[in-house]
Amino acid sequence: MTDLLCQLCSVRFLLDSSHIKGRGTCWFIGKRSSFSQLFSLYSTQNTIQYRRVVHCYSTISPTTTATTTTEMPEFRTIQKHFIAGEQEEGVGARVRRSVGSMRQRNFSPFLLLDHFTVSHPAGFPDHPHHGQETITYVREGMIAHEDFLGSKGVLRPGDLQFMTAGKGIMHSEIPVLMENGDAGVGLQLWVDLPKDMKDCAPRYRNLRGTEIPIAEPNEHLKIKVISGKSHGIDSVKELAYTPVDFYHYISDKKGTGFVQEVPTNFNVFLYVMKGAVKIDGQVFPQYSTVFYNANGDAIRGMVDDDDTEFAIIGGLILDQPVIQHGPFVETTREKIIEVFQNFQYGINGFERAVGWKSSIRNGILEKDVPAFEAAGEAKK
C-alpha cells in the first residue's frame, strides 16, 4: 500500500500502489476540503474491495501524519434475481415488469417497476390512482401528461416526474408522436405511501434532466444522483413523501468497479437497462433485476460491458400490509372497497373524475407540444 496526498481534495489516503488511476487522484470526486468521508476503490484480480476512510482533516501537508480509522462496510447479499419478461400494458404499450410481476409481487415500499416502450397511438390514457406515488423517468422520446386538476406538461429525455396520488388522482400519460418516429422509452416506478399519508392531497414535482447532479468517481463511471446521495453528491430534495434513493449509473469500460452506500432500513434493488454487470462473480445481462437482502449498508459490483447503464433504487421499508387492486393501494380490504366506492360515486377525492376526459387521450403531435405546455403553465 502507498501513502498518497490527494491533489483533488487535499486529504491523505491509502491506495494499492499497483492500481492507481493517476497518482495523487482519488476515486472520490467531491467538494474540495469540505467532506469527512473519502472513498477509495481498488481491485484485485477478481474481487472489488472497498474501504471507507473517515478523516478529521480538511487539508494536510505532505509532511503531516494523519490519523485515520478504517470502517469496512457490510455489503448486502443477493436475495433473488431474474430477467424481466415483456408484456402488454395500457393501450398497446410494451413493458418489461420486474416489481409487480408474479416473480416479485412487491418489495416494500415498491409496488411496480416497468421498463416501458410506447409509441403513438398506444399509451396510458385516462386512469385513476390512490394511496401511492409514481416516479416516471423518460429515457427516449417524449411523454405528455395531464390530470383532472388541470396540470399539463411534457417529459423529455432525462426528465422525471414524481407524482403523489394521495387520496385520488385521475390522469393520462401519452407518448408524443415524434417527427423522427422515436418511441417513448423509460422507467416507471410505483411506490407505496405510508398508511397515514394515503389520503393526502395529490401533487406533482417535475425534475428536469439538467437539474440532476452528477457524481463522477472516476473517468469511466458517471452517476446521475436523481434522489439520495452518492460519492458526496446530494440530490434535489423533497421529491417524494416516501423516502426513495434513485441512482442512474453509466459506464463505458468493462471491469469498472462500483460501490453504493445505502441506508440500512431501505430495501434495495438493481436494474440493468443496458449492457451487463457482474456481482459476486455472476454476470447479470440487460433487463436483469437483482434484489438484495437488507443485511448491509452498501452494495458493490463490476461493469461487464463497455456500454452499460443500470439503476440502483432503494426505499424505506414500510411496516404495513399491502392491499392492491390495480392502481388503488390500501392497507385493509375494507379501505380498498371504500376507495372503489369513492371512485364510482365521485366523492372523497374523485369529485373531478366524473365525466373528465383528457385532451391528449387520443394522442398529441410534436408540433402541438409548445401550445400544450403553454396551456399547462397558464393553469399554475
The percentage of the chain sitting over the pLDDT mark of 90, rounded to a whole number, equals 76
* pLDDT confidence tier of residue 69, bands split at 50, 70 and 90: very low
* pLDDT confidence tier of residue 290, bands split at 50, 70 and 90: very high
Question: Average pLDDT in the 161-179 region?
Answer: 96
Q: Which triple of cell numbers denotes residue 141?
A: 422520446
- 15-51 pLDDT, tens per residue? 333 333 333 333 333 333 222 333 333 333 333 344 4
Nearest to 267 by CA among 236, 287, 244: 244
Residue 123 sits at φ, ψ, to 5 deg, of 160, -165
- 291-334 pLDDT, tens per residue? 999 999 999 999 999 999 999 999 999 999 999 999 999 999 99
At residue 14, the pLDDT reads: 38
- 111-133 pLDDT, tens per residue? 999 999 999 888 999 999 999 99
Question: Average pLDDT in the 148-155 region?
Answer: 94
Question: Average pLDDT in the 363-380 region?
Answer: 89
**Can you tell me the distance from the alpha carbon of 167 to that of 59, in angstroms, rounded to the nearest whole number?**
52
Structural domains in the chain, sorted by start: 2-71 (no CATH), 78-316 (2.60.120.10)
Per-chain mean pLDDT for the chain: 84
Task: Answer whether residue 139 shows pLDDT above 70.
Answer: yes
- 79-116 pLDDT, tens per residue? 999 999 998 887 778 999 999 999 999 999 999 999 99
At residue 8, the pLDDT reads: 29
At residue 260, the pLDDT reads: 98
- 212-263 pLDDT, tens per residue? 999 999 999 999 999 999 999 999 998 999 999 999 999 999 999 999 999 9
Question: Average pLDDT in the 171-196 region?
Answer: 96
At residue 34, the pLDDT reads: 29
Print burial letters for 9-36: b (CB count within 10 Å at least 16), e (below 16): bebbbbbeeeebeeeebbbbbbeeeebe
* pLDDT confidence tier of residue 380, bands split at 50, 70 and 90: low
Q: Enumerate the H helices of 128-271 as residue ranges.
A: none
At residue 339, the pLDDT reads: 98
In angstroms, the Cα distances linking 61 to 16, 17, 201, 270 are: 21, 20, 55, 40
Question: Which residue shows C-alpha cell 387492486?
Answer: 325
**Can you tell me the distance from the alpha carbon of 190 to that of 44, in angstroms, rounded to the nearest whole number?**
39
Q: What angle do CA 272, 277, 280 make, to 5 degrees?
A: 125
At residue 93, the pLDDT reads: 85
With contact defined as beta carbons under 8 Å apart, do 112 and 190 qualify? yes
